Amino acid sequence: MKKALVVDDTKNIRALLTTCLEINDYKVTTAKSGQEAIDLLKIEEFDLVFLDIRMPEISGTTVLRKIREMSINIPVITMTAYATVKNAIECTKLGVVAYLQKPFTAEKVKSVLDEIFSNDDRVDDLGESLKQSRELIKDEKNEEAYEILKKALSINPSCSEVYYLIGMVHEKNGDVKQAEKFYETAERFEIDESET
């Protein structure tokens, strides 16, 4: 049986996720603070972590950084009611596999789990998505390319080329400021890729 850790300072969220995960054959452990989560991760192995970003004392982002510092390389799904681009980029760099926007439903949790674990062809899909996007951008079909690239981002959120191509779409649409943001992100991931 797979084991999941649910980290959230809100009791209702912990209860909802516990129910959703147990229905999907997970053994669930919960933590109501970042410190509690870190302590649990030091002594127990998990297959999956659901992590709230905004918590008192230690934020979810700090917990995520500590997880990676401890060389724990498990899928992490972050949850937040306050999504920001800066936060998304930071979490993505730390290897978050999916985002849950609060409030969410049991169906949304199920679809995120399916998305993460049911697709072993994701690497092939990524290569195909990038190829398709480049052709669409060349043919000035920017909106279609953008939709494919958003899906590609969910396949591999640390692929520098996805960010570069999204930057190209924004540039072609005349939004230079947004394009620059994505080009910078692409460069950051390129550096990460060359260091590993």
Query: Where along the chain do its domains lie?
Result: 2-117, 122-195
Give domain 2-117's CATH number out of 3.30.70.240, 3.30.70.20, 2.40.110.10, 3.40.50.2300.
Answer: 3.40.50.2300
Cα 192-80-70 angle, rounded to 5 deg? 40
Instruction: Confirm whether pTM is higher than 0.95.
Output: no
CA distance 80 to 44: 25
The arithmetic mean of pLDDT across residues 36-53, rounded, is 93
Position 120 confidence tier, pLDDT thresholds 50, 70, 90:
very low
Of the candidates 13, 79, 70, the one whose C-alpha atom is nearest the C-alpha of residue 38 is 70
Residue 2 has pLDDT above 60, yes or no: yes
The pLDDT, as a whole number, for residue 196 is: 46
SS3 state of residue 158: coil
CA distance 184 to 155: 20
pLDDT above 90 covers a percentage of the chain that reads 36
* Higher-scoring residue by pLDDT: 50, 99: 50
Alpha helices in the chain (DSSP H): 11-23, 34-43, 60-69, 85-93, 106-117, 122-138, 142-155, 160-172, 176-195
Residue 27 has pLDDT above 50, yes or no: yes
Question: Is the peptide bond between 56 and the residue preceding it cis, with omega within 30 degrees of 0?
Answer: no
The arithmetic mean of pLDDT across residues 52-65, rounded, is 88
The pLDDT, as a whole number, for residue 85 is: 63
- The mean pLDDT value of the chain amounts to 84
Highest CATH level, class, for 122-195: mainly alpha
**AA identity, residue 84:** T
